[in-house]
Structure 1
Amino acid sequence: MSARIGVVGSNMVDLVTYIDRMPAAGETLAAPSFSMGHGGKGANQAVAAARLGGEVLLVSRVGDDLFGGGTIRNLRDIGIDVTHVRAVPGAQSGVAPIFVEPSGENRILIVKGANEHLLPADVDAAAADLATCGLILLQLEIPLETVYHVIDWAAARGIPVLLNPAPAVPELDVSRILGATFLAPNQTELGILSGLPAETREQAEAAARTLVARGVRQVIVTLGAEGALLVTAEGPARHVPAVPVRPVDTSGAGDAFLGAFAQHYASHGDTLAAMRWGALYAADSITRQGTQKAFAGEAEFAAFREALGGG
């Protein structure tokens, strides 16, 4: 299996406001601080994998506004192949206003912008390069038809696909994603897709099993402070605990987990080991503010693991 990772997905500009609390309706509050950064689930996962030494190809669309060129330069500087990251004439870049509370918990809105213009034809134009990848990552900040097209295209060629159904939408047709190797929701997304509560680990396992019963091959549920859960049709669920740290900002933690998972899985093909690697990387990421700028490089991540005792 090739260790190269393909990401077909979104990019955003993160507009992060650090707050003491959310205002009530009609209320105006002063906030302690604000920052801007590069984000978007597709780009975040690509950046996490690349910072860990992964060879990453991104297929994405940016606006032809003041953010677009900066987004492409940022990705290129990190070492991501941006051959298929292009500006859409007349479109605005996607943005994500993020509100972070003192606990590190966050609330996020997204405006998809140019990401809505990433179409199946764009995937076909990148097909020769995507065919060299050993794993393809997808999310739902791009059109559903594009997501379905990539899954069908990859399945026909035997290329594993990980679909992160974020943000989850009731319109997602589960019957059209069965070609994916992994479905990786968080608990909220799992609840939306299954129609069942998924607030506890036991509920999450039960909800994931309903998706497996419908033909989903492997469900990886990210559980926040509870770690992650792997549910398949074979045997009991497997739990990977979270790494305890003091959170500063949980924005992008799920993307850190999945990008690190992809980098490890593409290199080694071991699902549980990749989940443990992802849990470590996500824990490290939430000790700093921001999303992509909180993602450690190889040396910094090695130092984090060493501080934990070589984990």
Structure 2
Amino acid sequence: MTGRIAVVGSNMVDLITYVTRMPAKGETIEAPSFEMGCGGKGANQAVAAAKLGADVLMVSKVGDDMFGDNTTRNFASFGIDTRHVSKAAGKSSGVAPIMVEPSGENSILIVKGANADLLPVDIERAAEDLKTCDLILLQLEIPLETVYAAIEFGKRHGIKTLLNPAPATSALDLRRILHVSFFVPNETELALLTGLPVGTVAEIEAAARSLTAKGIGTVIVTMGERGALLVTQTETTAIEPVRVTPVDTTGAGDAFIGSFACYYVETGDVKASLDRAARYAADSVTRRGTQKAYATREQFEARQSDGSGAGGFSR
């Protein structure tokens, strides 16, 4: 099985500060280092898939500021089709200030900027190219109406869709996403969307089953160092982690989703693709940054063969 992936989603400029500790309210402290790079959930997922060799189409909006052209060039540098990456007049690009602690854990703010201008009409403008795709990836850094329109587009044209409900919002109407092929929250997002506890794996499974009971066919919950959980209406499968020492967890969940998409459109095997995705995400957290931390297929396979990249960390 071979296929093409579309990402209808966000892009951000990552403003990454590495801190010795998080400041208290009203406190100013010195941080040891700062980096800037291209990010955003949609862009990260697209780049992860492209670096693994997938054929990727990007549908996104950039600002008409100093960051916009650079973001488009960044997509193109990975071989991503940018014909449907357009500028939003008078809008800033999306930015994401990120603070990374010594443990590798991170705290993130996002300013949507031009991402808020990615509208359902943009899906219709890209329709003929989207029809050539086998899987459409979506996140919640773009308007909800655009997410709903893309899922409906996929249903109408027989194209599978994957929704990563991040950042989670209670405004998401679950009735309008019932036809999504894969629903991929982390524990925090799952708790917010279901109102159920997620402290244990059993509770996570119960919360995921509450979604399949509503009609969502496949729920994949990423659980950080505990791996992932695949829940369908008939079975539950644990995707086991292999431990790694994290350096920077920023973008690990996007690495998981982008790599899953790549392997899935190649093989059609959900479980095997999730296992590879858990390993790919684990590999990504052993280096600093987001997109620059993602391995190419050659790098990833080399690390797997020598045992240095085997892991299962995804958030």
Fold match (TM-score > 0.5): yes
How far apart are the structure 2 equivalents of 1:305 and 1:45?
21
Rate the CA distance shift 1:26–1:156 in 2: closer, same or farther, 3 A.
same
Query: 1:2·1:133 contact (CA, 8 Å) conserved in 2?
Result: no
How far apart are the structure 2 equivalents of 1:101 and 1:307?
29
For 1:148-185, what per-residue CA distance to the aligned partner results, in whole angstroms no more than 9, with x for missing partners? 00001111111110100000100000000011001000
Structure 1 residue 243, shift from structure 2 partner: 2.5
How far apart are the structure 2 equivalents of 1:14 and 1:200?
32
Query: 1:2·1:132 contact (CA, 8 Å) conserved in 2?
Result: no
Give the aligned residue type for 2:17: T
Matched, 1:141 2:130: no
Give the aligned residue type for 2:123: V
Give the aligned residue type for 2:148: Y
For 1:31-70, what per-residue CA distance to the aligned partner results, in whole angstroms no more than 9, with x for missing partners? 1111001000000000000000000000000000000000
TM score, norm. by length of structure 1: 0.98
The within-5 A match list for 1:12-23 is: 12-23=12-23
Structure 1 residue 212, shift from structure 2 partner: 0.8
Query: 2:11·2:40 contact (CA, 8 Å) conserved in 1?
Result: yes
For 1:6-37, what per-residue CA distance to the aligned partner results, in whole angstroms no more than 9, with x for missing partners? 00000000000111111111111111111001
Paired position in structure 1 for 2:255:
256
Paired position in structure 1 for 2:169:
169
The count of corresponding residues between Structure 1 and Structure 2 is 310
CA-atom RMSD in angstroms: 1.1
Paired position in structure 2 for 1:275:
274
Structure 1 residue 2, shift from structure 2 partner: 5.2
Paired position in structure 1 for 2:214:
214
Structure 1 residue 309, shift from structure 2 partner: 8.0
Query: 2:4·2:56 contact (CA, 8 Å) conserved in 1?
Result: yes
Paired position in structure 2 for 1:61:
61
Give the aligned residue type for 2:119: L
How far apart are the structure 2 equivalents of 1:77 and 1:55?
13
How far apart are the structure 2 equivalents of 1:176 and 1:29?
45
For 1:233-277, what per-residue CA distance to the aligned partner results, in whole angstroms no more than 9, with x for missing partners? 113x10001231110000000000000000000111111011001
Paired position in structure 2 for 1:295:
294
Query: 2:2·2:267 contact (CA, 8 Å) conserved in 1?
Result: no
Query: 1:61·1:114 contact (CA, 8 Å) conserved in 2?
Result: yes
Paired position in structure 1 for 2:74:
74
SS across alignment from 1:13: strand
SS across alignment from 2:67: helix
SS across alignment from 1:225: coil
Matched, 1:247 2:253: no
How far apart are the structure 2 equivalents of 1:51 and 1:170?
33
Structure 1 residue 201, shift from structure 2 partner: 1.4
SS across alignment from 2:246: coil
SS across alignment from 1:198: coil
How far apart are the structure 2 equivalents of 1:310 and 1:243?
9
Structure 1 residue 228, shift from structure 2 partner: 0.5
Query: 1:191·1:198 contact (CA, 8 Å) conserved in 2?
Result: yes
How far apart are the structure 2 equivalents of 1:185 and 1:152?
20
Paired position in structure 1 for 2:157:
157
For 1:125-145, what per-residue CA distance to the aligned partner results, in whole angstroms no more than 9, with x for missing partners? 001001000111000000000
Rate the CA distance shift 1:148–1:12 in 2: closer, same or farther, 3 A.
same
How far apart are the structure 2 equivalents of 1:307 and 1:259?
23
Paired position in structure 1 for 2:35:
35
Query: 2:300·2:309 contact (CA, 8 Å) conserved in 1?
Result: no
Query: 1:219·1:232 contact (CA, 8 Å) conserved in 2?
Result: yes
TM score, norm. by length of structure 2: 0.97
Paired position in structure 2 for 1:308:
307
Give the aligned residue type for 2:115: N
